[in-house]
Structure 1
Amino acid sequence: MKDIEQLKSLWKSLFGDTEAFISLFFHEVVRDENIRVLEEKGRILSALYMLPYPFRIWNQEVTASYISGAGTLPEAQGRGLMRRLLIDSFKEMERRQIPLSILIPAEPWLYGFYEKSGYATVFTYNQQVYPPKERSLL
């Protein structure tokens, strides 16, 4: 079993989510076999979560691995740790015969980072807000 308290602390420091969300995520979503970590001297420096995700392609369901919570402590960044974790996750997906890996970069600059590890942008989106129309009650 991975050090869940250390992983929760890493998550909170990187993403700033609430304790309630973090507890729910680790209790309901994360399974030990889907956690990938790199550590030094017992301290987790980098982690990602390979969440099983059923994906429908051309009327066929394919199990994908949704990469979530990928992050490295600021003082350990620039050492290639995340790239190593991604390569490790690709090998594990191959072992499990999972043909598809997906992720949604949280920041625009991450698109370039993930492209270097083999990901490609397959769709984009833009957000539009439609104000509600005034309705007469008569």
Structure 2
Amino acid sequence: MTIRQAVAGDAVPMVWRDAFGEVPWQVPLYVQDAGRFDRTFVAVSGRTVLATVYYLIRPIRGEDGAPVPVGCVANVASRPQARGRGLIRRLLAEAIMDMESRDVAWSLLFTGTPGVYQRSGWKTLTRRYRAGRIAPPDQTITGMDVWDASLQDWPVLAELYDAFNASRPLTTVRTASDWQRRVRIWYADSEILLAGQRNKPDGYAVLRWDAGEAEVQEIGVKSVAAAAALLGAVARRALARGVDRCRLPLPDDPLLTGPTRDLLTTPQSDLTDATAMIRPVSRPSGQFGPEAAHWPADYF
């Protein structure tokens, strides 16, 4: 058994397919990373890759809002016949040592199996969000123009994103390449709405339909009026579809407080997302409050 960095000939995606089935975004995201092999660690027996751990370095804002290099762990997988042998723990240790050599501040991952990572030093980062029944149309706030947009409008979206998240903990500093490549993968099937004046939008929202429920995946606004207009449009579109429930995994923010309250009828559900895990590497990872956000388009 050999633990090493991956090379171009390694059948790494085959391990992922054995572990997860066909996941459409895994390989497209992976091949965007020019330095991926140096940060992919594999357990190999002969020519067979048995397990993998990969991480990429992303600029993510810490608890003070300042961006730091973060080791984002993804595609942790082992073939069924290789499980229970401690390979993932050994690969995670290799990844952490590599992060330390690159002065990575802390590490972030998302998982449904936290026990695998707790033994290697990661701790759960709990995030809370609201969900509930959508208020009837006469309870929603309107009054600002709202229209459909697309990711072709990414420069406009990027300006709004940067303004809304300028110091927001846990958000990623996105580049033009991120908007043109990574964001397109994650939001390919989502609706994008803009609000404001046609020549000067004041906000945007990303909307997904999932199993009879609406979800606001991302929002960026400059005013309460823009947030109210966008969430009001979500309500009208949902009810027109016969959808009466909405999920709001959004941060606490003064611009969103009233509009999110008005979107949902009472009682509202305060739900918990415990899929995020964090680990210090060269610096403390800090504490993240309800104003923090990690948007779906920045998953790894």
- Give the TM-score band, short-chain normalised: 0.7 to 0.9
Unpaired runs of 5+ residues, structure 2, are: 1-5, 135-234, 241-300
Distance change (3 Å), C-alpha of 1:39 and 1:125:
farther
Q: How far off its partner does 1:77 sit? A: 0.4
1:35-75 Cα offsets, whole Å, 9 max, x none, are: 11111111100001111111101131110011000011111
Consecutive aligned runs of 4 or more in structure 1 exceeding 6 Å deviation: none
Are the aligned partners of 2:8 and 2:37 in contact in 1 as well (CA < 8 Å)? no
Which of 25, 31, 36 is the equivalent residue of 1:27? 31
Matched, 1:97 2:103: yes
Query: Which stretch shifts more, 84-93 or 9-18?
Result: 9-18
Q: CA RMSD in A?
A: 2.3
CA contact (8 A) 1:12 1:22 kept: no
CA deviations over 1:78-125 (Å, ceiling 9, x no partner):
0000000011111111111112111111x2xx1122111100012234
- Aligned equivalents of 1:127 and 1:7: distance in 2? 38
1:119–1:60 distance in 2 versus 1, CA, 3 Å = same
Match for residue 47 of structure 1 among 37, 44, 52: 52
Counterpart secondary structure, 2:114: helix
Higher alpha-carbon Rg: 2
Counterpart of 1:115 in structure 2 is: 118
Of residues 92-101 and 8-17 in structure 1, the stretch that sits farther from structure 2 once superposed is 8-17
Residues 8-23 of structure 1: pairs in structure 2 closer than 5 A: 8-18=13-23, 21-23=25-27
Q: How many residue pairs were aligned? A: 131
* CA-CA distance at 1:130 after TM superposition: 5.0
Structure 1 unaligned regions, length at least 5: none
TM-score, normalization by structure 1: 0.82
Match of 2:92 in 1: 86
Structure with more relative contact order (C-alpha pairs < 8 Å, separation 6 or more): 2
Larger relative strand fraction: 2
Instruction: State the percentage of identical aligned residues.
Output: 24
